[in-house]
Amino acid sequence: MIVSHPSGNGPVLRAQEVDVVRDGNHLLRQISLTVRRGEHWALLGANGAGKSTLLNLLGAVTHPTRGVVEVLGRRLGRVDMRELRSYLGHVDPRHAPDSPLQVREVVLTGLTNTIALVPRWEPTEEESRRADHLIELLGMGSRGEARWPTLSQGERGRALIARALMPSPRLLLFDEPATGLDLAAREQLLGSIDALRHEHPSLATVLVTHHLEELPASTTHAMLLRKGHCLASGPVDDVLTTDLISACFDHPVRITRGEGRWSAKAATLVTAS
Ligand SMILES: Nc1ncnc2c1ncn2[C@@H]1O[C@H](COP(=O)(O)OP(=O)(O)OP(=O)(O)O)[C@@H](O)[C@H]1O
């Protein structure tokens, strides 16, 4: 399949002074963000802070009310959103095929951007080899023939990442990929995300989560959202600090980073005796 990918130069994503207003409510106010090749952003914030609203803009799902959003160099409002979406990978653990496909088949539907196999469509040999490679990369090598209903939630999440990678996107968006996973499944998933970032050094990613423990060690940048505003944005070690995270979640926490990963614990309150 030959596709004309949007321009490879310039930022992968650019949002400039973006507002989103729905039913008179400001869901996002004056948000600006630039994501470049090889950068891995975390979008963090409490429930209702506006993370999914922002991810939907970056994924060319919705338009801003005001401001400019450019995805892969193309400005929303001036391009076919459906076509633009076919150039990026959007991993949402709530997505599911509508029939009991095998893992390999689910991964191949990433090429047709459909929830089922397209009748009479056949992958080329190269596409089949790529699907097998991605299944292996995501640690699912022994599960290629397994059917969707028999997969654990963690396996489904990793199959969906392999699916999103099929068209070789330059941008991958993750919407709370570790939600509902047990400890082992979460660690496998985060390890897989680190591995794919290592194998594709020019890939850019944006990952939404509420939990610092769910951030891969390969995260390079972060944006903190609070009530639709950007509280902080930049290199990860400047943003994931005790003071900023406490302000973001309206709760005193202490942030530590060990072996590349982050954790947050309630800060001990010092009371006057
Ligand atoms: N179409 C809409 N009309 C009005 N309000 C909306 C609409 N969509 C979302 N909201 C509200 O906008 C706010 C931001 O929602 P959003 O889903 O972006 O937050 P979030 O940070 O992703 O939250 P969560 O972590 O709970 O998923 C919420 O208060 C939500 O109820």
ipTM of the complex: 0.94
- Gap from CA of 64 to ligand 1 centroid (Å): 14
Amino acid identity at 88 = L
- The pLDDT of 150-161, averaged and rounded, is 90
**Which residues face 91 on adjacent strands?**
174
Confidence class for position 194, pLDDT limits 50, 70, 90: very high
Candidates 88, 93, 85, 73; CA nearest to 167 is: 88
Atom of ligand 1 nearest to the CA of 45: 21
For ligand 1, atom 28, the nearest C-alpha belongs to 48
Tell me if 244 sits within 8 A of 63, measured CB to CB: no
Atom of ligand 1 nearest to the CA of 50: 18
- Gap from CA of 25 to ligand 1 centroid (Å): 10
Kindly tell me if the per-residue pLDDT of 152 is higher than 70: yes
Q: How far apart are CA 82 and CA 86, in angstroms?
A: 7
Q: What does the pLDDT look like over 116-134, one tens digit per residue?
A: 888 888 889 999 999 999 9
Mean per-residue pLDDT of the chain: 90
Atom of ligand 1 nearest to the CA of 28: 14
Confidence class for position 4, pLDDT limits 50, 70, 90: very low
Q: For the chain, what is the largest distance between any 2 Cα atoms, rounded to a whole number of angstroms?
A: 76
Confidence class for position 172, pLDDT limits 50, 70, 90: very high
What are the residue ranges spanned by the domains of the chain?
10-88+169-273, 97-168
Kindly tell me if the per-residue pLDDT of 255 is higher than 50: yes
Q: Which of 21, 27, 63, 173 to mutate to test the pocket of ligand 1 (most atoms within 8 A of CB)?
A: 27
pLDDT at 271: 56
- The pLDDT of 170-184, averaged and rounded, is 89
Atom of ligand 1 nearest to the CA of 56: 18
Kindly tell me if the per-residue pLDDT of 256 is higher than 80: yes
For ligand 1, atom 23, the nearest C-alpha belongs to 48
Candidates 46, 79, 60, 80; CA nearest to 171 is: 60
- The pLDDT of 218-238, averaged and rounded, is 97
Kindly tell me if the per-residue pLDDT of 99 is higher than 90: no
For ligand 1, atom 25, the nearest C-alpha belongs to 47
Most confident range (mean pLDDT) of 1-10, 79-88, 264-273 is 79-88
Confidence class for position 267, pLDDT limits 50, 70, 90: confident
Question: Residues near ligand 1 with C-beta < 6 Å?
Answer: 22-23, 25, 27, 45, 47-53, 210
For ligand 1, atom 6, the nearest C-alpha belongs to 22
Q: What does the pLDDT look like over 23-73, one tens digit per residue?
A: 999 999 999 999 999 999 999 999 999 999 999 999 999 999 999 999 999
Kindly tell me if the per-residue pLDDT of 1 is higher than 80: no
pLDDT at 114: 81
CATH class of 10-88+169-273: alpha beta
* Residue bearing tokens 């800060």: 267
Half-sphere exposure of 90 (CA within 13 A, CB side): 19
